[in-house]
Structure 1
């Protein structure tokens, strides 16, 4: 007997969009309010896990053909790269810099190197979370 889960799949599509939006908000709000790379990564990773729970692994892999171990490794490299990058400018380890830049169309924006570090943390958390969930769910 085939299970009719059209309602579940339709609701999950909307919920995943909302959760991904909230995760990005938490990621970018982390400098001035609670949030940041870790909690943003957890929320973004939970949206991906929700997709895996609703759909089968093959369907999700068609839409997101990522090896999440490589995503975690990229996140670690990005976070450590930005941390070590300060040493090349004779600044203490993990020193950040920021400034206001004029970007065409967007105007003047405040940019900081901390966003790169937080992106590395978020990618590491997403990759690790999804890898753990997928390894637990493997059949053997």
Structure 2
């Protein structure tokens, strides 16, 4: 009921919904927001799913050195959606982390070290909040997600 009353439009508003913590926000936030935003715009959720991201286009843009926020703007997608697609392209061996994220080896190494220091990296109890607190830079959660998925794919 709280979600209907608040009708969140972004992750911050979604996190204010009663019962939504970091884990639910990470796991379900973008999907719920997409459905709610589509409903607010008069489109059905199934139309939004059918339109989905074009992985080949995202791959091409990443290989052309376009950063994830720019890809999201050009493709009219949520940044988290772009990061999820990029992480799949990395896991499937179509992109390196450097190509997907536009980060240096040193930056990726810093993030990998922070992630690997977490005992629960592969568990459902993992939270990006701990990593964000540990790292001095304010990396977007999508960046952390891509690096984490690459690590988990190697295990």
Whether TM-score is above 0.5 comes out as: no
The higher-RCO structure (CA 8 Å, 6+ apart) is 1
Under TM normalisation by the shorter chain, which class is it?
0.3 to 0.5
If you compute each CA radius of gyration, which structure gives the higher value, 1 or 2?
1
